[in-house]
Amino acid sequence: MSLVGCYVALSKPLATALPVLLLAWMRFGIGGVAMLHWLRKPAGEPPLTRQTRRLLFLESFLGNFLFTLCMIYGVSLTNAVTAGVTMAAIPAAMALAGWAFLRERVAPRTWAAVVLAVLGIALFALSKPELPAQSAQALGAKNTSNLAWLGQWLLVGAVVCEAAYTVIGKKLTGSLGPKRISALINLWGFALTTPFGLYLARGFDFAAVGWGTWALLLFYALAACMWTVWLWMTGLQAVPAAQGGVFSVLLPVSAALVGVLVLGESLTGVQLLAFGIALASVLLATLPSRAALRVRPPEAPR
């Protein structure tokens, strides 16, 4: 999630230089080339069942394709504050989804960490200025006043998509390795965005894009499609969905730090308080329990 926050902050120039769906198509294409060797089935891995194939499609459709559309157009029809406060529900949504669909037992301390995570993200969002009207229109909304309700529902849809992404990913890690999951859902993402990418590429002036933007696109594609997905799926193999959801607080924290250290932005006192609450939620979720501390590790053979 820290890496996600970094590439989200650094991808701002990409969103102004390239159309969103063209950017997504190129991102999946670069990621697919980098992960070609991850598509090969390991020797000990069972063959893909019909249910696994269906889950792989849903993982990419909900977590990559639909989440991106709901988030971008939701922000364009509302404002940055509304989007941030709505996204604060992601840790709670992940915990509820893990409890409802995976039958995970959510410990009281994990619920407390989820509450702190929601408070931290919401407080950070409320401390940010609202998205100006001209910026919203630049994102594609011509009249945001009459369609704010639609934007809010799209943001809620993005939260549901993110929760589904975690739950489905947790189920997939039971039969597939993290590298193969990353490569297969990226392949589906490329297939879903190809019609839009080809259409937008026909009239786009690629020669007008500078070398710095291309280098940033390469980092963005590898980070978004390859590194972060592999790390997230590897973590889900050992961490419950509810506990994993708490780590989503690191996204706004790392994004803001990149903004300060790289883009020259500044932090307010309220934002620092929000970061403190967010980091406290991660600490609460990751500290070992008393029961775990009482269990001694087995002695090494002599």
> What pLDDT digit, counting tens, does each position of 129-188 carry?
544 444 444 444 444 557 777 887 888 888 889 889 989 999 999 889 999 999 999 999
Q: How far apart are CA 9 and CA 7, in angstroms?
A: 5
| Structural domains in the chain (count) | 1
Average pLDDT, the chain: 79
Q: What's the confidence (pLDDT) of residue 263? A: 63
Give the distance from CA 172 to its chain's centroid.
17
Q: What's the confidence (pLDDT) of residue 293? A: 37
Q: What's the confidence (pLDDT) of residue 79? A: 63
In angstroms, the Cα distances linking 28 to 25, 44, 223, 247, 274 are 5, 27, 11, 24, 33
pLDDT value at 5 more than 60: yes
Residue 226 lies in a domain: yes
Q: How far apart are CA 65 and CA 168, in angstroms?
A: 15
pLDDT value at 8 more than 60: yes
Q: What is the 3-state secondary structure (H, E, C) of the chain?
A: CHHHHHHHHHCHHHHHHCCHHHHHHHHHHHHHHHCHHHCCCCCCCCCCCHHHHHHHHHHHHHHHHHHHHHHHHHHHHCCHHHHHHHHCCHHHHHHHHHHHHCCCCCCHHHHHHHHHHHHHHHHHHHCCCCCCHHHHHHCCCCCCCCCHHHHHHHHHHHHHHHHHHHHHHHHHCCCCCHHHHHHHHHHHHHHHHHHHHHHHHHCCCHHHCCHHHHHHHHHHHHHHHHHHHHHHHHHHCCCCHHHHHHHHHHHHHHHHHHHHHCCCCCCCHHHHHHHHHHHHHHHHHHCCCHHHHHCCCCCCCC
Residue 82 lies in a domain: yes
Q: How far apart are CA 70 and CA 62, in angstroms?
A: 10
Q: What's the confidence (pLDDT) of residue 265? A: 66
Assess contact for 155 and 70: CB atoms under 8 A.
yes
Q: What's the confidence (pLDDT) of residue 257? A: 73
Q: What's the confidence (pLDDT) of residue 168? A: 93
Q: What's the confidence (pLDDT) of residue 45? A: 84
pLDDT value at 300 more than 50: no
- For residues 35 and 228, the model is more confident at 35
Q: What's the confidence (pLDDT) of residue 6? A: 67
Residue 83 lies in a domain: yes
pLDDT value at 203 more than 80: yes
Q: What's the confidence (pLDDT) of residue 132? A: 42
Task: Find the distance separating the first CA and the last CA of the chain, reported in whole Å.
Answer: 41
- For residues 103 and 5, the model is more confident at 103
Query: What pLDDT band is residue 37 in, cutting at 50, 70 and 90?
Result: very high
CB atoms within 10 A of CB 189: 26
Give every CB contact of residue 250 below 8 A, 6+ residues apart in sequence: 1, 2, 5, 278, 282
Residue 235 lies in a domain: yes
Q: What's the confidence (pLDDT) of residue 52? A: 94
Q: What's the confidence (pLDDT) of residue 255? A: 67
User: What is this structure's pTM?
Assistant: 0.75
Residue 216 lies in a domain: yes
Residue 97 lies in a domain: yes
Residue 203 lies in a domain: yes
Q: Which pLDDT tens digit goes with each residue over 68-119?
A: 788 777 766 776 566 666 777 778 888 888 888 888 787 788 888 888 888 8
Q: Which residue range forms the structural domain that includes residue 255?
A: 2-41+48-287
Average pLDDT over residues 219-246: 85
Residue 299 lies in a domain: no
pLDDT value at 290 more than 60: no
